[in-house]
């Protein structure tokens, strides 16, 4: 299970710069991609939903480490 957590974490953490850029495009006024709020969200902001599994994976890894330390 630890190997799969690490692999998932690497894949998800590699998405952070892309998600950050997408969030900046949607919430930053849409200077580059001013197609409308809904269209911008579906084109660029849907990647920000990856933050939920990133938080979950991080918490699972921290929990596993804390469990091994005790």
Q: Tens-digit pLDDT profile for the chain (70 aa)? A: 678 888 989 988 888 877 777 667 666 665 556 666 777 677 766 777 788 898 999 999 999 999 988 7
Q: Give CA–CA dist 40/59, Å, rounded.
A: 30
The count of structural domains within the chain is: 1
At residue 70, the 3 state secondary structure works out as: coil
Q: Which domain holds residue 45?
A: 2-69
Q: How many CB atoms lie within 10 A of CB 46?
A: 12
Model's pTM, two decimal places? 0.65
Tell me the CA distances in angstroms from 63 to 1, 2, 35, 56, 68, one per residue in order: 13, 11, 42, 10, 9
């Amino acid at each position: 299970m630890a190997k799969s957590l690490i692999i998932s974490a690497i894949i998800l953490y590699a998405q952070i710069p892309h998600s950050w850029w997408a969030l900046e495009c949607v919430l930053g006024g849409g200077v580059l991609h001013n197609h409308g709020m809904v269209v911008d969200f579906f084109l660029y902001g849907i990647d920000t939903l990856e933050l939920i599994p990133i938080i979950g994976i991080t918490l699972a890894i921290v929990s596993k480490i804390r469990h091994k330390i005790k």
